Amino acid sequence: MRQAPVAHHLLMPRRPGPLSPTQLSTAPLPAVHLARDFTAAHVRSCARDGTWIRVRPGAYLSTTEHPASTRDRDVALSRMIALARQSTVPLTFSHISAALLWGLPMVPGHEHTHVVQGSRPGTRGDRGVVRHRTTLHDEHRTRHNGLIVTTLERTVVDCLRMLPPLSGLIIADAALHVGADRTVCSQMLEQLAGSRGIIKAREVLALADEGAESPGETTVRFAALRMGLPVPETQIKVVTSSSTYWADLGWRGWRLLVEYDGRQKYADAATDVLLHERRRQESVEDAGWHVVRVMKEDLRTPGLLRRRLLRHVPTTAHAHLSRRPVLNSR
């Protein structure tokens, strides 16, 4: 079993500054209360008054210690911790579960806990646990946060094979952003040639970009790629008369930039912050760039987003847009 921490220092984001907090959660694992460690009366009392919530049979999470804003992630992690403590044999967490343990973003499917086992899964067992029967080499597993988990690169490979393209791309972008080795991922895919999901995984990995600083930015890029636009560059440096700025993604040849605005970005923004953003955009546009701002709601209407982007793409390029069928696969 390989003991190797994530090499955060080996790959820094293109934009100056620390790693994006939306691509890597450094919060400690939640504390899990096992019923076997308390009296039955105490467990019933805590569950009844809402102090504890049940995360799996015989395991509870304290609601007072974990805010609602991180509840889904805390519950998913608590299920893994409880399962590891309750299991009589060592478990290797994999796929989405491994991604969460590495601190990567949540994607749909976190309601189940994924583990790798060498023997055939039984017909009866915990419905909340997905057991993958596969051969896992020792170098593809490590220990992280006190639990046995697939390595960061193997986690990427497993997620790319199993998940729909967008979810797989979100995991791959985030993993590359925090230090996953793309070459190692590619080599693992070669070793797994012929198994299910390999072709999709290869194509999505080729589109992954360590410059994405949030799942929202990945989702915007995915939408553009799905439209058939050329692969955009991420974290574009824009020098203006007033300052130097960094745009989320875009196409230099078309002088087109796309900025993803998460709702939280402006949730508590003061007037001077909003004014700064306005002046920033004016400065970038004065430098000869087109700027398309995208919010989460815009991604629900791909036709409108397509029109907004193509408005700034030369008409001569429209006929050369190349759709990517793999991005429409499951």
Co-location of 224 and 314 in the same domain:
yes
Q: Is residue 45 part of a domain?
A: no
Co-location of 198 and 236 in the same domain:
no
Q: Is residue 184 part of a domain?
A: yes
Co-location of 283 and 230 in the same domain:
yes
Co-location of 183 and 148 in the same domain:
yes
Domain termination site, one of 188, 207, 226? 207
CATH number at residue 307: 3.40.960.10
Co-location of 308 and 273 in the same domain:
yes
Q: Given this model, what pLDDT does residue 8 score?
A: 37
Q: Given this model, what pLDDT does residue 132 score?
A: 93
Instruction: Using 50 as the pLDDT threshold, list the residues of the chain that sit under it.
Output: 2-13, 123, 266-267
Q: Is residue 59 part of a domain?
A: no
Domain termination site, one of 207, 229, 254? 207
What is the per-residue pLDDT across 245-284, written as a single tens digit (0 to 9) for each?
Answer: 999 999 999 999 999 987 555 445 556 667 777 888 889 9
Q: Is residue 241 part of a domain?
A: yes
For residues 36 and 71, is the Cβ–Cβ distance under 8 A?
no
Q: Given this model, what pLDDT does residue 151 score?
A: 98
Q: Is residue 47 part of a domain?
A: no
Q: Is residue 36 part of a domain?
A: no
Co-location of 126 and 252 in the same domain:
no
d(CA 216, CA 178): 17
Co-location of 192 and 317 in the same domain:
no
Q: Given this model, what pLDDT does residue 328 score?
A: 87
Co-location of 158 and 24 in the same domain:
yes
Q: Is residue 54 part of a domain?
A: no
Q: Given this model, what pLDDT does residue 119 score?
A: 65
Co-location of 203 and 280 in the same domain:
no
Co-location of 95 and 125 in the same domain:
yes
Q: Given this model, what pLDDT does residue 235 score?
A: 95
Co-location of 246 and 150 in the same domain:
no
Q: Given this model, what pLDDT does residue 64 score?
A: 86
How many domains is the chain partitioned into structurally?
A: 2
Co-location of 246 and 202 in the same domain:
no
What residue ranges in the chain does DSSP mark as E strands? 32-34, 52-56, 59-62, 92-93, 113-117, 129-133, 141-144, 147-150, 233-239, 244-251, 256-260, 290-294
Q: Given this model, what pLDDT does residue 270 score?
A: 56
What is the per-residue pLDDT across 47-75, written as a single tens digit (0 to 9) for each?
Answer: 999 999 999 999 999 998 888 888 999 99
Query: What is each CA distance from 39 to 30, 43, 49, 145, in whole angstroms?
Result: 21, 6, 16, 29
Q: Residue 139: which domain range?
A: 8-30+66-207
